[in-house]
Amino acid sequence: MDQSPPFKRVLVANRGEIAVRIIRACRELGCESVAVYSDADRAAPHVRAADHAVRIGPPAPGDSYLRGDRIVGAALETGADAVHPGYGFLSERADFAESCEAAGLVFVGPSPHTLAGLGDKLAARRSAARVGVPILPGTFEPAPVDPRDSLDAVMADAERIGWPLLVKAAAGGGGRGMRRVERAAELAPALVAASQEAKAAFGDGSVYLERFVEGGRHVEVQLLGDVTGNIVAVGERDCSVQRRHQKIVEEAPAPGLTAEKRRHLHALAVAVAAAVGLRNAVTAEFLLTPDGEFAFLEVNARLQVEHGVTELVADLDLVQEQISVAAGRPLSHAVVAAAARAAEPSRHAIEVRVGAEDPGRGFAPVAGILAEWREPGGPGVRVDSGVEAGTDVGTEYDPLLAKLLVVAPDRDAALARLRRALGEFHVAGIQTTLPFHLWLAEDAAFAHGQLSTDFVERHWEPATRRTRAREVAAQLVAARLADRDSAVPGGRGDHRGEGGRVASDRPAGDRLDGDRWGEIARREGVDRWPS
């Protein structure tokens, strides 16, 4: 295997934790890295981590991270020979990949042709149907949106698909441009609203209809392909725990699947990838219905936020593999070996996304300065972060602060490790999603693998959790004050024994000083909720 660096210098066209992740992979491969940054990120960790850094504009993404011309210019200015887009921003834009190639730069990702095909979910649905991969009932062409257009045809499609159904954006993802429709009267306004949101987010207002499956699970397959046409699946992930149709918790492998079921799913994913000429890393997403059948949803032609759980289970570095494949090298022996054992994994990994959001108020984004930031550690714990104490968290970008990942021999052990790691994770200054994750790690339904895409909607009761946290906080304060008083000479509860020693009349097991105080506070999320 070629041990020389695949590239001399790679520009990372992103920010935050994923930029740090890519820079680390470049360093291990012997490639220099170039960071780009907006004015808001001038002192960000990813800027300091890179070998070179170039300012590309003011904070607004449209004036910086979405300016493909400035990013290409920065790559040429610094002598980069490749561009890694990460995820989000320009990662799935065929025109950006084309502009990189036109400038003589290697785009680390699928070809512009593949991006153009997969960026259109309707085209991906048609490709899957052509090769016999099951899909959910739905439409294959954009639905009419303008009220002046006749809605008779789309209403007929909706009746054929059945209620409830989803109106979905044909371009982009992340839950944007998506509306659930329960009955015929809601269809027209849902089409307009979804189209407007999709237009604002992706520059394309095309939408289509798809059956909504109650109690379904979101399961996706990680794929890698090289220039020789070799395509493999290296494992699947369950991403069913979502809010607003956006993932918040992911794990690998998907709970409850047999080896035979995994092989079937992986084969379906490879078939879709082969149909669109995959090269580099993509993810094929499926819905697992309550009756145990898989239906293709879409293909994300980029690195996923949750790629780390597959890395931990498959023992791979997917970013390094991306860069190597982009340099024209075949899939590594490690990838081929991982694919061979993917149906029978020997580890389990879980990732939770720690975001600047208030889980008690519909996961609304929040802003502020991170007064404290202490990450957990120990065996089987990984934290991918792009922030630190003192970081000013704004609302210009995605609220993701970090990803906490754990790996263990099985799911029960991984859950125990997750609970321990969450207890060690300390953040102050702004609200985060940690209270939700603390609850989830203890939830019986989650522990038993009773997953579905509406899990959060059905199980999460933030008002109850907030009230409980406040009650426990009051009890802890009272108990701690009592302990303090009992230890002060002459204080309330002061009982001096032989030699003048202070002897509390509280049973030893009831004392709440030291680590016990912190343990209870962490378990109940007392310090994770705003007052």
**148: enclosing H helix or E strand:** none
pLDDT band per the 50, 70, 90 thresholds, residue 457: very high
Average pLDDT over residues 122-129: 91
Task: Indicate which CATH number applies to the domain containing 50.
Answer: 3.40.50.20
Separation between Cα atoms, residue 252 and residue 255, nearest integer Å: 8
Residues 268, 126 share a domain: yes
Average pLDDT over residues 125-132: 93
Determine the pLDDT at residue 491.
52
Task: Indicate which CATH number applies to the domain containing 338.
Answer: 3.30.470.20
Residues 368, 276 share a domain: no
The answer to the question of residue 426 being in a domain is yes
Looking up tokens 């003192």 gives 390
Residue 82 has pLDDT above 80, yes or no: yes
Highest mean pLDDT among 180-189, 379-388, 512-521: 379-388
Q: Residue 81: CB partners within 8 Å, gap ≥ 6?
A: 7, 8, 9, 10, 104, 105, 106
Determine the pLDDT at residue 506.
39
Q: Is 292 helix (H, G, I), strand (E, B) or coil?
A: coil
What confidence tens digit (pLDDT) does each residue in 275-295 have? 888 889 999 999 999 999 999
Determine the pLDDT at residue 464.
78
Residue 515 has pLDDT above 70, yes or no: no
Phi-psi region of 230 (alpha: psi -120 to 50; beta: other; left: phi over 0): beta
The per-type count for the chain, helices as H runs and strands as E runs, is 18, 24
Looking up tokens 């293909």 gives 299
Determine the pLDDT at residue 510.
47
The answer to the question of residue 2 being in a domain is no
Among 200-204, 298-302, 397-401, whose mean pLDDT is lowest? Answer: 200-204
Pairwise pLDDT comparison (151 vs 392), residue with the higher score: 392
What is the percentage of the chain residues whose pLDDT exceeds 90? 76
Determine the pLDDT at residue 17.
97
Determine the pLDDT at residue 494.
45
Which tokens hold the place of 497?
A: 């024994």
pLDDT band per the 50, 70, 90 thresholds, residue 496: very low
Number of domains the chain is built from: 5
Determine the pLDDT at residue 449.
96
Average pLDDT over residues 117-123: 83
Q: Which residues are identified as catalytic?
A: 302
Determine the pLDDT at residue 505.
40
Residues 303, 235 share a domain: yes
Residues 309, 166 share a domain: no
The answer to the question of residue 1 being in a domain is no
Determine the pLDDT at residue 527.
58
Last residue of one domain, picked from the residues 346, 364, 381: 346
| CA distances for 497 relative to 154, 493, 504, angstroms | 85, 12, 10
Residue 7 has pLDDT above 90, yes or no: yes
Q: Which structural domain, as residue segments, surrounds residue 153?
A: 138-211
Residues 70, 38 share a domain: yes
What is the percentage of the chain residues whose pLDDT exceeds 70? 88
Last residue of one domain, picked from the residues 211, 227, 244: 211
pLDDT band per the 50, 70, 90 thresholds, residue 463: confident
- Count the neighbouring beta carbons within 10 Å of the beta carbon of residue 10: 30
Residues 438, 425 share a domain: yes
Pairwise pLDDT comparison (200 vs 148), residue with the higher score: 200
- Count the neighbouring beta carbons within 10 Å of the beta carbon of residue 176: 18
What confidence tens digit (pLDDT) does each residue in 211-253 have? 999 999 999 999 999 999 999 999 999 999 999 889 999 999 9
Among 176-180, 348-352, 513-517, whose mean pLDDT is lowest? Answer: 513-517
Last residue of one domain, picked from the residues 346, 372, 401: 346
Which tokens hold the place of 322?
A: 């991306």
Residues 53, 96 share a domain: yes
Determine the pLDDT at residue 311.
98
Residues 378, 362 share a domain: yes
Average pLDDT over residues 139-168: 87
Which tokens hold the place of 273?
A: 């990838």
The answer to the question of residue 524 being in a domain is yes
HEC profile of 95-147: HHHHHHHHCCCEECCCCHHHHHHHCCHHHHHHHHHHCCCCECCECCCCCCCCC
pLDDT band per the 50, 70, 90 thresholds, residue 499: very low
Residues 121, 61 share a domain: no
Residues 116, 197 share a domain: no
Residue 426 has pLDDT above 60, yes or no: yes
Pairwise pLDDT comparison (205 vs 233), residue with the higher score: 233
The answer to the question of residue 268 being in a domain is yes
Average pLDDT over residues 59-81: 97
Task: Indicate which CATH number applies to the domain containing 143.
Answer: 3.30.1490.20
pLDDT band per the 50, 70, 90 thresholds, residue 116: confident
Residues 142, 94 share a domain: no
The answer to the question of residue 4 being in a domain is no
Determine the pLDDT at residue 525.
61
Residues 254, 116 share a domain: yes
Residue 514 has pLDDT above 70, yes or no: no
What confidence tens digit (pLDDT) does each residue in 150-160 have? 778 899 999 99
